[in-house]
Amino acid sequence: MAWTLLRPYSFTSNTLEWAEGLRAGDDTVRAAFQAAGVAAVDPYDIAAVAAVALTSSGHEGRAYTLSGPEALVPAEQVRILGWVLRRELRFEASSDEEARAGMEARMPVEYVDAFFRFFVDGAADESVVQPAVGDVTGRPPRTFAPVCAGAHADSFRP
């Protein structure tokens, strides 16, 4: 059986976890891993690569690492989101202890441990922009501003 493997970086849509607080009027975004730059990928770009791989030849036996077009740290994502929302947002880094406690409250500890291995211990580097989205789809991956902040702007508004 033919196969194609897609290995996406973190998703741009992960920032939707900030939506509840921003909708409630809190202008401070608290997030973990303040120094971890990530070239987060838009889930729509993942779907576009999958669609091409499923409907055309030449992708059999290939593994594609999927990223967005730019590596951003959380403070940069918050700045862009604030610009799109026309709101003065502030970024506040969560300590590793706060981040771990919050994550363990909503996901299995094995996932939390993996995130800490990746973003604190440096076991994975998602800051390197990968060419696969453009190579497979023929168009560049979508940037953070129109994707998360723009397309989902209403999710963040009060």
- In tens digits, the chain (158 residues) has pLDDT values of 889 999 999 999 999 999 999 999 999 999 999 999 999 999 999 999 999 999 999 999 999 999 999 999 999 999 999 999 999 999 999 999 999 999 999 999 999 999 999 999 999 999 999 999 999 999 999 999 877 667 888 999 98
Q: How far is residue 155's CA from residue 16's CA, in Å, rounded to a whole number?
A: 7
Asked if residues 122 and 115 have their Cβ atoms less than 8 Å apart, the reply is no
pLDDT of residue 148: 64
Q: How far is residue 34's CA from residue 98's CA, in Å, rounded to a whole number?
A: 13
- CA 20, 26, 150 angle in degrees (round to 5)? 60
DSSP letter (8 states) at residue 12: G
pLDDT of residue 32: 95
pLDDT of residue 158: 86
Q: Are β-strands 28-31 and 90-93 bridged in parallel, bridged antiparallel, or unpaired? A: parallel
Residue reference for tokens 């998602």: 126
* C-alpha distances out from residue 145 to 79, 122, 152, Å: 10, 26, 10
In a 13 Å sphere around the CA of 87, the CA atoms on its Cβ side amount to: 20
pLDDT of residue 149: 66
pLDDT of residue 146: 77
